[in-house]
């Protein structure tokens, strides 16, 4: 471990090449141009950008947040250097086809790139993440004219992008959106309305910003079925190449608890009655299109929990090795020398907690991104359907696991530092503020739970759980052959069986009576599912480490692999037992949170 390190490159290589074996993916189109060397170069480039531009500005950009001057949002100057370096390196466009200036890099590899830059500065990472996901949406659903206009400018870094969903009266209830689009004689739409909490909604990094705006065409049905999606640039590009104002006003910047370097904007569209937008795809299909970007963002938020926790973990690990305080528990002599606090069992527990979460979270995101990568290789119909269903099932879980457990992990790091963790002398207090928003981004934990339980489980026959059990079973079956892992495999297998049994009972009750009692505890259900999936990833990693230990490896590698095994044991002895309490709660009768709406009992 190098001083000041915020992530482990050794762990990235272990997860990508040893655990998830992405070299097998590289043999298929469109990824044949890549090998371990080219992927290593991409990771090195990300690490260099993080070291030069992101880490040095992490604290200063928090102390000097964006502000509005003459109607224009001004961001920290280093944000410009990062954005343009990331774009010019080719990383911004790296997962896109060569025809768009991309490298056709697997998304699983880009997750590792995001992990590197996010651990250095989680606020700066948001700007590039929005540009990538907006470009992906236009590539999938935009007209050829929209692709020709926006993709070259977005992927080169000349323009940036946002997603504009939330409104003050609607919040997460998108069916109540009132922003309206009025069809004009020229085929464009006049856009009128306001959006709030728009991350990177305005800034001075790029010459233009493309807003993807959910709005209701005049006369469209109420509810989500009447929502359409529009491209609404901050400035309109004229025929001669000039950029003109498109009547979008930055009303104000919200003063956030964390992630100060990325402004959250209150935007008004059409205050002067001349804001123009263009429809993406078909009318009234906007939420369907936006779900691609939202699901991509949910995986990104889950990953953010991992990389923010990684920065906290490596900071607290270094502190625990250097901070001398107290004596070993068995030492009774007050004259004996104090020891580094890493010698204390409870400090080691806190460090194990962080390591167990950080490395399981990254592994889960890579697992999901590999499904997306395999979908690009032209897999046959049944296999394609399998990957799509697994992605739908696991995406809300990854978002919740990364955001909720990431928050706990960062606070474990803060606890390691004790009083210093609560001061600005170390970055832990800033990380604790930054990580807290993740469980709210892209739909709260309750919304993710209802998406998983309501949309994926209760609305079906449970077959998607059979698919997931088969997927986990392949890895558990291999690992069970190793005697050191057999007890842990049996433990997780029994937990999975209990989860599926309770899920089927919830399906039965929902069909016979109501889904409401089950959905009342949906947040607990997705927490349970997250722990089981983290256990699955730890079995995968532990099996990989055991196989590697049987070969001739260096002393450093032996320590790395043994650490993997000990962290897996920690997870199974300290974290996985929480599933028993969740099983008991969710398997019981109706929750006490349900009561007649005319009674106020709290």
* Segment 151-206, tens digit of pLDDT: 999 999 999 999 999 998 776 667 778 999 999 999 999 999 999 999 999 999 99
**257, 285, 313: which is the final residue of a domain?**
285
Q: What's the Cα-to-Cα distance from 370 to each of 169, 361, 399, 417, rounded to whole Å?
A: 38, 14, 16, 36
Torsion angle in degrees (nearest 10) through CA of 214, 215, 221, 224: 20
From 285, 320, 351, give the residue that closes a domain: 285
pLDDT tens per residue, range 50-64: 999 999 999 999 999
Q: What is the predicted pLDDT for the residue at 46?
A: 98
Task: Mark whether 449 and 488 lie in a shared domain.
Answer: yes
Query: Are 146 and 176 members of one domain?
Result: no
Residue 183 pairs in a beta bridge with: 189
Give 408: exposed, middle or buried? Use CB within 10 Å, 0-12, 13-18, 19+: middle
Does 117 share its domain with 173? no
Asked whether the CA dihedral 154, 157, 158, 161 is positive or negative, the reply is positive
Tell me whether residue 318 is in a domain.
no
Helix axis angle, 555-570 to 345-375, nearest 10°: 100
Q: How many domains does one find in the chain?
A: 3
73 and 48 co-located in one domain: yes
Contact 368, 299 (CB under 8 A): yes
Determine the average pLDDT of the residues in 228-255.
Answer: 95
Q: Which residues of 459-498 are buried (b: 16+ CB within 10 A; e: fewer)?
A: eeeeebbeebeebbeebbebbbeeeebeebbebbbebbeb
Q: Are 179 and 214 in contact (CB under 8 A)?
A: yes
Which pLDDT value is given to residue 601? 65
Tell me what the pLDDT averaged over the chain comes to. Answer: 94
Name the pLDDT band for 402 (thresholds 50, 70, 90).
very high
Are 128 and 96 in contact by the 8 Å Cβ rule? The answer is: no
Question: What mean pLDDT do residues 121-136 have?
Answer: 95
What is residue 202's predicted lDDT score, i.e. its pLDDT? 97
Whether 305 is covered by a domain: the verdict is no
Q: Is the pLDDT of residue 213 over 80?
A: yes
Asked if residue 230 and residue 145 are part of one domain, the reply reads no
The reply to whether 20 and 140 lie within a common domain is yes
Q: Is residue 108 part of a domain?
A: yes
CA–CA dist 354, 529 (Å, integer): 19
CB–CB of 378/29 below 8 Å?
Answer: yes
What pLDDT shows up at residue 53?
Answer: 96
What pLDDT sits at residue 589? 66
Say if residue 302's pLDDT is above 80. yes
pLDDT of residue 415 exceeding 70, the answer is: yes
Q: The CATH number of the domain where 45 resides is what? A: 1.10.540.10
Helix (H) / strand (E) element for 276: namely strand 276-279
Q: Is the pLDDT of residue 516 over 90?
A: no
What pLDDT score does 177 carry? 86
What is the residue range of 249's domain? 160-285
Confidence at residue 595, expressed as pLDDT on a 0 to 100 scale: 76
pLDDT in tens, 360-376: 999 999 999 999 999 99
CA distance 565 to 574: 14
Asked if residue 151 and residue 176 are part of one domain, the reply reads no
What phi and psi values does residue 174 have, to the nearest 5 degrees?
-65, -20
The catalytic site residues sit at: 442
Classify residue 422: in a domain, yes or no. Answer: no
Domain annotation covers residue 394: no
Whether 473 and 566 share a structural domain: yes
Predicted local confidence at residue 92, as pLDDT:
97
* 251 DSSP β-pair partners: none
Q: With 0-12 CB in 10 A as exposed, 13-18 as middle and 19+ as buried, what is 592?
A: exposed
Q: 144 with 167, same domain?
A: no
Residue 225: which CATH number?
Answer: 2.40.110.20
Torsion of CA 85, 89, 94, 98, to 10 degrees: 130
Residue 71 sits in the same domain as residue 23: yes
- 562 and 489 together in one domain: yes
pLDDT score of 353 more than 80: yes
3-class SS shares of the chain: helix, strand, coil, % to 5: 60, 10, 30
- At 336 the pLDDT is 87
Report pLDDT digits (tens) over 463-504.
999 999 999 999 999 999 999 999 999 999 999 999 999 999
pTM: 0.96
In this prediction, residues 96-114 reach a mean pLDDT of: 97
Q: What is the pLDDT of residues 528-559, one digit of tens each?
A: 999 999 999 999 999 999 999 998 789 999 99
Does the residue 291 lie in any domain? no
Do 100 and 20 lie in one domain? The reply is yes
Asked whether residue 337 is assigned to any structural domain, the reply reads no
Residue 345 lies in a domain: no
| Percent of the chain scoring above 90 in pLDDT | 86
Last residue of a domain, one of 236, 258, 285: 285
């Amino acid at each position: 471990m190098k001083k000041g390190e915020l992530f482990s490159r050794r762990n990235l290589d272990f997860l990508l090449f040893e655990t998830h074996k992405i070299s097998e993916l590289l043999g298929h189109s469109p990824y044949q141009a890549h090998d371990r060397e080219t992927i290593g170069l991409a990771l090195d480039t990300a690490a260099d950008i993080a070291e030069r531009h992101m880490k040095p500005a992490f604290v200063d950009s928090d102390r000097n947040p964006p502000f509005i001057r003459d109607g224009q949002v001004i961001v920290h100057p280093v944000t410009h250097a990062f954005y343009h370096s990331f774009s010019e390196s080719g990383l911004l466009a790296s997962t896109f086809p060569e025809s768009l200036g991309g490298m056709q890099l697997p998304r699983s590899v880009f997750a590792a790139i995001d992990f590197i830059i996010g651990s250095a500065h989680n606020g700066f990472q948001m700007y590039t993440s929005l540009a990538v996901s907006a470009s992906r949406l236009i590539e999938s659903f935009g007209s050829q004219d929209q692709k020709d206009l926006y993709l070259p400018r977005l992927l080169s870094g000349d323009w940036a992008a946002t997603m504009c969903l939330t409104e003050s009266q609607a919040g997460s209830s998108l069916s109540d959106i009132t922003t309206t689009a009025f069809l004009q004689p020229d085929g464009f739409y006049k856009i009128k309305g306001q959006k709030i909490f728009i991350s990177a909604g305005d800034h001075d990094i790029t010459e233009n910003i493309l807003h993807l705006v959910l709005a209701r065409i005049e006369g469209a049905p109420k509810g989500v079925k009447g929502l359409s999606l529009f491209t609404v640039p901050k400035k309109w590009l004229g025929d001669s190449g000039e950029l003109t104002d498109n009547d979008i006003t930055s009303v104000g910047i919200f003063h956030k608890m964390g992630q100060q370097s990325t402004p959250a904007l209150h935007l008004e569209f059409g205050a002067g009655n001349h804001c123009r937008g263009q429809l993406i795809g078909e009318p009234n299909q906007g939420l369907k299109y936006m779900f691609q970007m939202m699901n991509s963002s949910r995986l990104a938020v889950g990953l953010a929990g991992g990389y923010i926790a990684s920065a906290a973990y490596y900071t607290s690990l270094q502190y625990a090795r250097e901070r001398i305080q107290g004596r070993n528990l068995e030492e009774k002599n007050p004259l004996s020398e104090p020891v580094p606090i890493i010698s204390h069992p409870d400090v080691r527990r806190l460090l194990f907690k962080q390591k167990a979460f950080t490395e399981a979270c990254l592994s889960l995101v890579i697992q999901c991104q590999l499904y997306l990568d395999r979908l690009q290789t032209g897999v046959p119909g049944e296999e394609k359907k399998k990957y799509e269903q697994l992605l739908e099932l696991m995406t809300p879980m990854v978002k919740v696991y990364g955001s909720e457990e990431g928050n706990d992990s960062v606070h474990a790091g803060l606890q390691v530092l004790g009083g210093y963790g609560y001061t600005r002398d170390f970055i832990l207090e800033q990380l604790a503020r930054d990580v807290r928003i993740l469980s709210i981004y892209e739909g709260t934990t309750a919304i993710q739970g209802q998406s998983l339980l309501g949309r994926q489980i209760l609305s079906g026959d449970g077959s998607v759980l059979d698919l997931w059990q088969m997927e986990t079973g392949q890895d558990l079956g291999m690992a069970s052959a190793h005697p050191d892992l057999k007890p842990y495999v049996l433990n997780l297998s029994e937990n999975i069986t209990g989860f599926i049994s309770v899920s089927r009972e919830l399906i039965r009750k929902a069909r016979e009576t109501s889904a409401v009692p089950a959905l009342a505890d949906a947040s607990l259900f997705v927490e349970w599912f997250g722990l089981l999936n983290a256990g699955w990833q730890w079995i995968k990693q532990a099996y990989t480490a055991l196989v590697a230990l049987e070969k001739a490896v260096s002393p450093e590698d032996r320590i790395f692999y043994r650490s993997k095994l000990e962290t897996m044991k920690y997870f199974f002895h300290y974290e996985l037992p929480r599933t028993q309490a969740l099983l008991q709660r969710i398997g019981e009768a109706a929750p006490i949170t349900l009561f007649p709406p005319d009674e106020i009992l709290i």
